Amino acid sequence: MLVGNDFSEDVRDDRGWTGWWVQRLAWFAEEGDVLVLPSAPDKDFFEYATDLTGVRRETLSVVVPPDGPDGRDGLTPARLAAPELLDGLERAVGDREVVHLSALWPDASVARLARRLGFASAMPGYGFVDQAGGPTVNSKSAFRTLAGGVGVPLPDGAVCTSREVAEETLMDLLAFGPVVIKHDYLSGGRGNEILTTGETFRPIGARRVISVRDRDEVRAYLEDRWEWLTSGGAGRPVVEQYIRDSSAFFAEFRVSDGGVELTGEGELLSAPYAVGEIMPSQGLEPEVRDRIASEGRKLAEALRAIGYRGMVSPDAIVTPEREVLFTEYNGRITGSTHIYGRIGAWVVGEGFGKDRILLERVWPEGWFTPSFATALAVMRRSGHAYDPVTRTGVVLTNAHDRDGGVMYCVVAENLQSAWKRDRALEPLFLVVNPTAD
């Protein structure tokens, strides 16, 4: 049983668009599985994904709970507790045994669902998730605490337990250069802001760059932004030295009763927010890659020791001096897991990471397609759709986002070929304003 939930309502409530994003659950489905989704699946996307994975769509059961009272389209705790959902899941399971139950995000509401269905023993790390462990493994402040404890290298900085701590840390670090202050739970760079006492510059991995001249301006900034930075007190911001011209990478691990396994790694691309990933990373010195993996493993082992079971993806930056510094972890099925773990491993196959790489892309601003089916038809008509024979081309990785886009990844022999194909897509989807000068 696979549950297509998103971020916990306990830590953020800005995810009103999750209905399409969680449909990536289709890539993880195996024959006979029961899937819980917040809304009816995009039929075209599900057929497309299961055709590529070889899973017979007719063997899958999709159960959708009734709409919640607040109108949110995610799998909220109220929707996961609905009697109609439990009845629908019991009918879908029938007399079969549920051997595994997991979710995209380790929320306590999923553990309650497992308990009510009598499937708690089928949920890895049930006890940890049941006691609200999900926020711990997705918190930037908890990450710094754990990383400091096990000796994983970090940028200079601190967890801000109060506005006063934030002010003093900012003043200390601003003497040495730009500083980034991070929301505890927002992702993709959207919770980060950079402060500087010198020149301003284009932000990478942050909302904006703010110039502050002295303590009074730092204090005024914190007074203005503290409510947002803490989500009204729900989180603890992190302040870190911002090291310009660094590159960002991830190493993802599966944490199980049997141990910790490195499952994938890659480079993270931002401009200024997350715009894509390269998997596996290309051109990274072997000793640097090994450091990312070995230090990331320390974090995964620490989470395993406290009872977490599931995927965890520590992120790190590599500075111009080739120093490796870790910046956060993500204890959930990330936006990378289905790309390398299912499209790479299942669809591309054994050649992934050897004679084929993946360039994953967020739908670029200014591009438009009215539906998943239209995007797929354009890819096929133009000759860019993924070809299982050549093992090259574009794989559409999720349902239509309702704002005119579809996430995708390029399968290619090398990074140069991947970027060349990516550039060839622009004329197919770019919206040109005929009234523009």
User: Is residue 298 located within the same domain as residue 230?
Assistant: no
Domain that holds residue 13: 2-134
User: Is residue 358 located within the same domain as residue 385?
Assistant: yes
End residue of a domain, out of 330, 356, 376: 330
Tokens 């995009």, residue?
42
Our count of domains for the chain comes to 4
> Residue 342: its pLDDT value, please?
98
CB 191 within 8 A of CB 217: no
CA nearest neighbour of 314 among 342, 286, 294: 294
> Residue 13: its pLDDT value, please?
65
User: Is residue 207 located within the same domain as residue 310?
Assistant: no
In the chain, which stretches have pLDDT less than 50? Answer: 434-437
Cα angle 16-101-46, degrees, rounded to a multiple of 5: 55
The phi, psi pair for 321, rounded to 5°, reads -85, 5
State the Cα–Cα distance between residues 340 and 320, nearest whole angstrom. 27
End residue of a domain, out of 330, 345, 363: 330
User: Is residue 326 located within the same domain as residue 345?
Assistant: no
User: Is residue 172 located within the same domain as residue 50?
Assistant: no
End residue of a domain, out of 286, 310, 330: 330
CB 15 within 8 A of CB 7: yes
| pLDDT tens figures, 214-258 | 999 999 999 999 999 998 888 999 999 999 999 999 999 999 999
User: Is residue 197 located within the same domain as residue 232?
Assistant: yes
User: Is residue 162 located within the same domain as residue 114?
Assistant: no
Q: Which CATH number goes with the domain that contains 220?
A: 3.30.1490.20
Domain-located, residue 8 = yes
Domain-located, residue 62 = yes
User: Is residue 61 located within the same domain as residue 73?
Assistant: yes
| pLDDT tens figures, 270-292 | 999 999 999 999 999 999 999 99
CA nearest neighbour of 406 among 430, 370, 352, 433: 370
Domain-located, residue 250 = yes
User: Is residue 120 located within the same domain as residue 20?
Assistant: yes
DSSP code at position 243: -
CA nearest neighbour of 37 among 360, 399, 292, 310: 399
> Residue 437: its pLDDT value, please?
39
User: Is residue 116 located within the same domain as residue 17?
Assistant: yes
User: Is residue 361 located within the same domain as residue 303?
Assistant: no
CB 284 within 8 A of CB 318: yes
Burial (CB count <10 Å: 0-12, 13-18, 19+), residue 181: buried
User: Is residue 94 located within the same domain as residue 190?
Assistant: no
